[in-house]
Amino acid sequence: EAQVTQNPRYLITVTGKKLTVTCSQNMNHEYMSWYRQDPGLGLRQIYYSMNVEVTDKGDVPEGYKVSRKEKRNFPLILESPSPNQTSLYFCASSSRQGIQETQYFGPGTRLLVL
């Protein structure tokens, strides 16, 4: 089954404690990205990756890092989380072959930073 998986689904942490949210897709997609969703703001892109070892900032990259060492994985790293990073996070992937394909979203990760 084609899917995007994220782990963990729920996470409570404290300010300053480094954390990583993993994202993996099994569709051999080139393009992957991270979004955060906040009430009243919709979804905003954090980082994206066009392919392995190619990443770039989205609209709200401050406080986040990403890496793309393998095509299937695109982890989101919060080196020193702060309460304003409490949010719902979505990972997404899509093919970049030919026309723009639909983005497939993971189930979301709810993060609470105390």
Interface positions with another protein (CB under 8 A): 31, 33, 35, 40-45, 48, 50, 56-59, 88, 90, 92, 96, 99-100, 102-105, 107-108, 110
Work out how close the CB of 40 gets to another protein at its nearest, in angstroms, rounded to a whole number. 6
User: Based on CB atoms, which residue is closest to another protein, 72 or 105?
Assistant: 105
User: Based on CB atoms, which residue is closest to another protein, 44 or 65?
Assistant: 44
Work out how close the CB of 83 gets to another protein at its nearest, in angstroms, rounded to a whole number. 21
Structure tokens that stand for 91 in this block: 């990972």
Work out how close the CB of 69 gets to another protein at its nearest, in angstroms, rounded to a whole number. 20
Please, is 58 exposed, middle or buried when counting C-beta atoms within 10 Å of its C-beta (0-12, 13-18, 19+)?
Answer: middle
Contact present, 46 and 74 (Cβ < 8 Å): no
Contact present, 46 and 61 (Cβ < 8 Å): yes
User: Based on CB atoms, which residue is closest to another protein, 18 or 41?
Assistant: 41
Q: How far apart are CA 26 and CA 36, in angstroms?
A: 22
